[in-house]
Amino acid sequence: MLAPSLAGFALFLLTPIVVVVALSFFDWNFLSDPEFVGLDNYRELAGDERALQSIGNTFYYVLLNIPAQTVLALLLALALNAKIKARNTFRVLYVLPWMAMPVALGVIWRWLFDPVNGGLNKFLALFGIDGPSWLTDSAWAMPVIASVNVWQYTGYTMLFFLAGLQSIPTELYEAADVDGAAPAYRFFKITLPLLRPAMLFVLITSVIGSFQVFDTIHVMTAGGPDGATSTLNYQIFLESFTQRSAGYGSMLAVVLFAIIAAITLAQVVFFRKRTVYDFS
């Protein structure tokens, strides 16, 4: 009964991982035969300024994206969990950006942030504000990319927090009301601790997705200006398919996998003894 799923797992997930790990020890340009170079690709990484910059850019993007996305999603979930009019309509509206194609959204946002003809700078000009060159200024480019992804995925993340909030027994809040607990006390002593399973899931999936960002960067900035938005995942694409260095690109993919695995493990360890699953 498990054979079809196991076959698909082995063929489409396990085999590519093994191939990528093996290729990281070779020099291959897709044309000539692969040449075994051992750990040379890994040694070369230490002196590769572009690759090291892309690693730094990736962490910078994650630090911009995850806190903002998580906090906004939690606030939206708290608001939409309350008994307000048309809350189901608002839930749908906030999720709609996640359902759109990242490439199509990237094209629209690239136009909005265009320094000359973009809608944002024209709007700022109405108030006498000279808007910056959003996507060609290294100081602004990555925050813009992060803000676009926060806008797109906050509603999706909100759904998991909302599900977590709705699984918390109402009796706990009723008991807190009887004891005269303040709203802040209820949030930090009841809501937040019992949301830890949802928080763990959200952080793990969001961090993994953030480390793998590609579409928005490729469409809006193509890694520019001067590599300021080239993340590790985008650098893998450049090395593998633009520079035709499949071995070096595979090595970067292994490094990305190791970083994601280490951070995921750290999150699991951190939440393991702090998470409540049973309300009985």
pLDDT confidence of residue 100: 86
Mean pLDDT, the chain, whole residue set: 91
Q: How many CB atoms lie within 10 A of CB 255?
A: 18
Residue 264 CA to residue 257 CA, distance in Å, equals 10
Tell me the pLDDT tens digit for each residue of 248-263: 999 999 999 999 999 9
Tell me the pLDDT tens digit for each residue of 31-75: 888 999 999 999 999 999 999 999 999 999 999 999 999 999 999
User: What pTM, to 2 d.p., does this model score?
Assistant: 0.91
> Left, alpha or beta for 222 (phi > 0: left; psi -120 to 50: alpha)?
left
Burial of 173 (0-12, 13-18, 19+ CB in 10 A): middle
User: Is the Cβ–Cβ distance between 247 and 27 less than 8 Å?
Assistant: yes
Weakest-pLDDT range from 19-23, 93-97, 132-136, 234-238: 93-97
Return phi, psi of residue 225, to 5°: -80, 135
Residue 86 CA to residue 92 CA, distance in Å, equals 10
Q: How confident is the model at residue 275 (pLDDT cuts 50, 70, 90)?
A: low
Complete domains list, the chain, with CATH:
17-47+247-280 (no CATH), 60-233 (1.10.3720.10)
